[in-house]
Structure 1
Amino acid sequence: MSAPVQNFAGTGAYPASYYAASANPAPERPPLEGDVTAEVCIVGGGFTGLSAGIELAERGHKVVLLEGARIGWGASGRNGGQIVNGLNASLETITARYGRETADFVGTVVQEGGALIRERVAKYGIACDLKDGNIFTAFTARQMKDLEAKQALWRRHGHDNFEMLDRAALRRHVGSDAYLGGMLDRSGGHMHPLNLALGEAAAFERLGGVIHEASMVTAIEDVAGSPIVRTARGSVRPEALILGGNAYLGHLVPALEDRVMPFSTQMIATEPLGARAAEILPSDMCVEDVRYVLDYYRLSADGRLLFGGGTVYGGTDPADIKAKLLPALGRIFPGLAGVGVDFAWSGNCAISFSRVPQMGRLGTRTYFAQGYSGHGVVGSHLFGRILAQALDGDRSRFDVFAAVPWIPFPGGRRFAVPYSMVGSWWYMLRDRLGV
């Protein structure tokens, strides 16, 4: 039997974020009651589980999804809402570590997650304020050279949608003098992530999928054999199991626990900016810089600046989110000094040591994906689809990712947080020095 799960969900209510305050109406799904059987059981009502569930349901499979709180309660409903193509680890890094064949394969799929989001938004009529375009910004000449190298590398893999921006060209998109230049990816974009998750849940149900909210999984028996998934009020005996809890899987599956480390990132939403919104982001694209610990931001549908950044390893929340983020916002947009902040929130992601997401199996029936390392919006949609394809009989893409070795954090779980903090300080120093 697996270890008891940590009750991350608390009461199960959504955190007091801008996304929760502006969420589309959605039903509360009943908790699991009693003992049931299922062809497939999915643990986790975020993008990984929803993406896999839709793909399986479209293929005629009968699926039960268990969520400990509400749909999109975790990272899927709290993130920056940005469609940023690629993985955290660059194609160059993947080539160096795992070989050109693996990198060439990854190069063929890195834009599929974003395309899949657009496909499902259109197919199922999901109202989530989806818009095109994201921009990477650079502070230094070295960072600009890195962006140019990224553009060239992606072109070699058939992706020619990046446009380099000098300072003047960037100024037409971002009303800030903080940057030297940047790069525009027109195939990127942004949306309201919680509304995307809620829309995907509704699509999954229309396809015959069953969702139980407020159904925290307390234990999984025989996870590598014939799994039995237990909640406080029931159980599921599936033919196949998908674990999509990522940073919120907790201690549920010890075999996966040490592979990733939770980290929290923070966001604020300003008051509606009115005419100032078009001054700071004239083209209404989302933005992130290229530093190791980066800032990311975009406009909401009602003209607020949604600004995120910061990292707390171990997954704890800072005491004062506004105090942490407002100085960074002020450095980028000094004209917004004194702006009102209506919402501030935090949430956990899961990072792998290699910054490459992990996919695999425990035994023959239990599948998992985790460790998106800050690129979970597109990564989770892609990996959810690949998990579903594997369960449906096509393991070709699953096997490639499952074969990528995972790297343990040096010092094990005890030293993962201090090690990562030291590494973070080192890369932040390099960012400041421009090296």
Structure 2
Amino acid sequence: MTCYPDSYYAASRGDTTDYPSLTDHIFADICVVGGGYSGLSTAIALQEKGYKVVLLEGSKIGFGASGRNGGQLVNSFSRDIDHIEKHYGKDTANAMGSMAFEGADCIRDLIKRYTIDCDYKSGGFFAAFTEKQMDELARKKELWERYDNNKLSIVDKHNISNIVNTDAYVGGLVDEHCGHIHPLKLALGEAVAFTSIGGQVFEQSKVINIEHLQQQDKKITLVKTKQGCVTANKVVLAGNAYMGNLEPKLAKKSMPCGTQIVTSEVLPEELANSLIPSGYCVEDMNYKLDYYRVTADNRLLFGGGVTYGGGDPASIENFLKPHMNKIFPAMQEYKIDYAWGGDFLLTLNRLPQLGRIGENVYYTQGYSGHGINTSHLAGKLLAEAIHGDSSRFDVFANLPHYSFPGGRLFRVPFTMMGAWYYGLRDSLGL
């Protein structure tokens, strides 16, 4: 039986519900594979539309990236709208831009409608180390305001201490449309919401095979676990970095990458409030960025780094604590209570992959580090498409996606070379 990793989130989640494993042959309109944000948001949206939905999770709800991430509701996509326009055209950019800030609203809507207690707090800050990064943020502000995000403001060096109390930055950009949450509490709350409206959740029910059959005048799909089976009209694959090789066509177009987080001991309230007076979540503008925030119980949660191919460094604390101390020298006196890692799914073009396989299977994956907001948007789009309106879903489904050069053998060193180059630029301030 798979349990949660030893993380701050697992220790403070509150909800300890165990959902049953699938041991029977059952029937559903839709079978969703994956109990993270992608699967949960899709399942809720479809159940609300009147479908009978079954969700299968191979481990525990929120076991993967959805229950391990930094908890930051960061807007847009891993590639921003100007990049999308340059490479995919103005129409695609306008369509994606119109949805770039919708994911956070989807989350806030679920929290409100289903009374999900997940320590939600509004506001985010993009921090700049250099004037060049400040210029990038000025362009980002102008770009995002074109797509109706009017909750942005530039902060200069003289006023940054009101946002985050450090000498490390020359300024930054406030986005009040952002926010932060306890990610595992959100996932568990969404599972409760889904079951409250009639949905079925099965944990410890890893899918081992998907079989397509012709039954009279329609095609059906058998989704098989070790001990059970779901017969469904449609299937949604939403396992992301934890789906393995269940669908090889998707596996070869993506790569798991690890990221790591530490959480301090509980800090004196005065110190916790002084570190980030605004209460915002913060991320810097480096390619290999750090991100952090103060938790509801006054701990500093600090994350960063990427391990290509997945997995963790030998010591997560030794890797991240120097970064934390550099931003906040006062933290040298405080110990780390939790250190953990988890995998997210990277695509070659850094854009999410939504699409169909044949008539019955839909999928969503590969948010490339922007998974909290984008996964919730994806769930809404999948539900729209399955219900008959695929216009917005097809904006993403029509994006070209490619396999990593050299296949699985070379995708890790290929990507590491690119990361090394951009990391060097960060260190040189270029």
TM-score (norm 1): 0.96
Distance in 2 (CA, whole Å) between partners of 1:144 and 1:101 is 28
Residues 154-205 of structure 1, C-alpha deviation per residue, up to 9 Å, x if partnerless? 1122222111110122211101100011000001000101001111100000
1:79 is aligned to 2:53: no
Residue 322 (structure 2) aligned to one of 311, 327, 331: 327
Q: Give percent identity, aligned residues only.
A: 48
Instruction: Tell me which residue corresponds to 2:297.
Output: 302
Contact 1:223 / 1:366 at 8 angstroms: preserved in 2?
A: no
> Which residue does 1:3 correspond to in 2?
none
Q: Distance in 1 between matches of 2:405 and 2:127?
A: 32
Q: Which residue of 2 aligns with 1:312?
A: 307
Report the secondary structure of 2:35's partner residue: coil
The equivalent residue for 1:6 is none
Q: What residue in structure 2 maps to residue 4 of structure 1?
A: none
Q: Contact 1:37–1:236 at 8 Å: present in 2 too?
A: yes
Q: Is the 8 A contact 1:223 1:362 kept in 2?
A: no
Aligned runs of 1:346-357 on 2, under 5 Å?
346-357=341-352
Paired residues for 1:149-160 under 5 Å: 149-160=139-150
Q: Deviations over 1:348-395 (max 9, x none)?
A: 000101110000000011000000000000000000110011111111
* Distance in 2 (alpha carbons) for counterparts of 1:207 and 1:392: 18
Alpha-carbon distance between aligned partners in 1 of 2:37 and 2:420, rounded to the nearest angstrom: 31
- For residue 421 of structure 1, what is the aligned residue in structure 2? 416
The answer as to 2:227 corresponding to 1:233 is: yes
Please report how far the alpha carbon of residue 246 of structure 1 lies from its aligned counterpart in structure 2 after TM superposition.
Answer: 0.3
SS at match of 1:168: coil
Does residue 244 of the first structure (1) align with residue 234 of the second (2)?
A: no
SS at the partner of 1:219? strand
CA shift, 1:110, in A, is: 0.8
Taking the TM superposition and a 5 Å limit, the aligned residue runs for 1:193-212 are 193-212=183-202
Matches for 1:124-273 after TM superposition, within 5 Å: 124-222=114-212, 226-273=220-267
Rounded to whole Å, the distance in 2 between the matches of 1:137 and 1:40 is: 43
1:205 alignment partner AA:
T
2:81 to 84, 91, 101: 91
Q: Which of 379, 386, 389 is the equivalent residue of 2:384?
A: 389
Any idea what the Cα deviations from partners look like across 1:226-271, whole Å, max 9, x if unmatched? 4321111011111000000000010111111111100000000100
Does residue 113 of the first structure (1) align with residue 103 of the second (2)?
yes
Q: Write out the 4+ residue segments of structure 1 that deviate beyond 3 Å after TM superposition.
A: 222-226
* Among candidates 7, 11, 14, match of residue 24 of structure 1: 14
Distance 1:268 1:106 in 2: 33
2:213 & 2:51 partners in 1: Cα distance? 21
Deviations 1:130-159 (A, max 9, x none): 000000001011110000001111112222
Counterpart position of 1:8: none
CA drift at 1:408? 2.3
> Matches of 1:365 and 1:222 in 2, distance apart?
8
Structure 1 position 223, deviation (Å): 9.6
TM-superposition CA deviations, 1:27-77 (whole Å, max 9, x none): 211100121221000000000000001101111110000001111111000
Of 49, 52, 67 in structure 2, the residue corresponding to residue 62 of structure 1 is 52
**Per the alignment, in what secondary structure is the counterpart of residue 427 of structure 1?**
helix
| Structure 1 match to 2:362 | 367
State the secondary structure of the residue aligned to 2:69: coil
- In structure 2, how many angstroms separate the alpha carbons of the residues matched to 1:29 and 1:211? 6
One-letter identity of the residue aligned with 1:348: D
Asked if 2 retains the 8 angstrom alpha-carbon contact of 1:48 and 1:244, the reply is yes
Distance 1:85 1:223, change over 3 A: farther
What amino acid is aligned across from residue 255 of structure 2 in structure 1?
A: M
Give the gaps of 5 or more residues in structure 2.
none
Q: Which amino acid aligns with 1:241?
A: V
- Residue aligned with 2:367, SS: coil
Structure 1 unmatched ranges of 5 or more: 1-10
Separation in 1, partners of 2:75, 2:200: 30
Distance in 2, Cα, partners of 1:144 & 1:24: 40
User: 2 CA distance for matches of 1:171 and 1:415?
Assistant: 44
Q: Match for 2:304: what amino acid?
A: G
Please report the RMSD computed on the Cα atoms of aligned residues, expressed in angstroms. Answer: 1.2
State the one-letter code of the partner of 2:55.
Answer: L
Letter in 1 for 2:11: A
The residue number in structure 1 matching 2:407 is 412
1:290 Cα offset (Å): 1.1
- Aligned letter for 2:334? V
C-alpha contact (below 8 Å) 1:42/1:49 kept by paired residues:
yes
SS of structure 1 residue aligned to 2:55: strand
Name the SS for the 2:333 alignment partner: coil
